[in-house]
Every structure is written in C-alpha cells, then in structure tokens.
Chains A and B, each alone.
Chain A
Amino acid sequence: DIQMTQSSSYLSVSLGGRVTITCKASDHINNWLAWYQQKPGNAPRLLISGATSLETGVPSRFSGSGSGKDYTLSITSLQTEDVATYYCQQYWSTPPTFGSGTKLEIK
C-alpha cells in the first residue's frame, strides 16, 4: 500500500494569512491526489482532485500543487471558516490511502 505522510498534524495561522499543508507519498502517484476538508461533526468534503483541480464551489483562495511524491495544499487570505482538518488521499493505486490529517487553527 502507498503510505501518505502529512508531516504537520497541527498548524496555527493568523487570520488573513497564508498556509501550506504538505503531503508526501511513499511512491509516485502521478498527480492522482485529492485534498479533503473536514469540519467537526461533518463528513470530509472534496476540495481538490488531480492534485490541482479545484472542485466547483471551492473558493479560489485554495490551491493545490505538486508532482511525483510531493504535494501541497495552499490557502491564502485565511478565513475563520477555513478552520478544519485537511486530509490528502492518493487514488493512483488500490487501496486508496489517506494522510493522517493536518488540523488548522486560527492564531
């Protein structure tokens, strides 16, 4: 199985600031990478697929980048509603595997 590592389990960022969340795969996943946002009490919500494609309705302050094994989710102009846990997931190979999550809070 491909292991997904999110090195930061917790990040604290100022309102209006910029944050980058990183995700590293144990093998090349050819951009078959998704980012999910999960707020307390809610299911995960798909933000980005194919490493860089923003889902409909997702604010443009979210963006994804990366290639090979290394991927990032960036959020600019951080808003209070962005407080959540963010998970990466590879779907290049079966089984799909998730990172352990990065919890984002406002400083």
Chain B
Amino acid sequence: EVKLVESGGGLVQPGGSLKLSCATSGFTFSDYYMYWVRQTPEKRLEWVAYISNGGGSTYYPDTVKGRFTISRDNAKNTLYLQMSRLKSEDTAMYYCARHKYMEAMDYWGQGTSVTVSS
C-alpha cells in the first residue's frame, strides 16, 4: 500500500523556521519526482517545491524561492521541506505528493498544518 505521511507542522512566529518531513512507503521512492503542495485557508492549491527523483533538480515558485529548500533522502524514503523566514501568507496545510514525469500527482499525504502567527 502506498503511504505518504507528513509531519513537522505547527505554530511558528513570523520570521521563524520549520522543517517538514514526508515519510513514504509502499513504492520505490527513488523512481518518483516529488512535490510539496500547500492549500491556503481559502482552499487554494499551490505548488511550493519540486524535486527530481535523484534529487539533482529542484524548482520553486518566486513566492518561496530563497526561503524554502526541498530535499530528499532516497535511502530513508523521505522527503523534506526546510522553510525559513516564514510569513503569515505561508499559513496553509502542506501536502507532499508523488508523480512520474508528465503524469499527474497520483498519491498525496494527509497533510501537516503550518500556522505563521505572532
């Protein structure tokens, strides 16, 4: 059974940092590209980071570039998102999702909530 389980969310002050993890099982992690997608309180879905299957390529939207870093450990089947200089607009539910090249995101985790507030 394919499983993706996020953790690490919580309440953090503006300017603070947080590291999210996504532990996976039930599939060959190193075969898949991985995304972090967030859902805002208004229920809008937006992509925040992407990493290739080997980890050599990463991409970010301008809204988080320079503040967020995606990484993966294929030996531990785990995906990470290091978030720094957090802003109130980063408040969202954060999901990890897998996909193969030119395929849809076919499995998502259950999400971990991040609240940025003083």
Contacts and interface: CB of A to CB of B under 8 A. Distances in A.
Interface stretch (A14-22, A65-73, A91-99): A91-99
Interface in B18-62: 35, 43-47, 50, 59, 61
B43 A44 contact: no
B1 interface: no
Interface string B103-118: 1111111110000000
Interface residues of B, number: 21
B50 A94 contact: yes
B68 interface: no
B95 A43 contact: yes
Given A32-B102, A46-B104, A89-B104, A98 B45 contact: yes
B104 A43 contact: no
B109 A91 contact: no
Interface size on A, as a range, is 20 to 34
B14 to A, nearest CB: 25
A91 B103 contact: yes
B106 A55 contact: yes
B50 to A, nearest CB: 7
B75 to A, nearest CB: 26
A96 B59 CA distance: 11
Given A43-B110, A95-B59, A95-B61, A34 B105 contact: yes
25 contacts: A34-B105, A42-B110, A43-B108, A43-B109, A43-B110, A44-B45, A44-B95, A44-B105, A44-B108, A45-B108, A46-B104, A46-B106, A49-B104, A49-B106, A50-B104, A89-B45, A91-B99, A91-B102, A91-B103, A91-B104, A94-B59, A95-B50, A96-B47, A96-B105, A101-B44
Given A34-B105, A45-B108, 9 more contacts: A42-B110, A43-B110, A44-B45, A44-B95, A89-B105, A95-B59, A96-B105, A97-B47, A98-B45
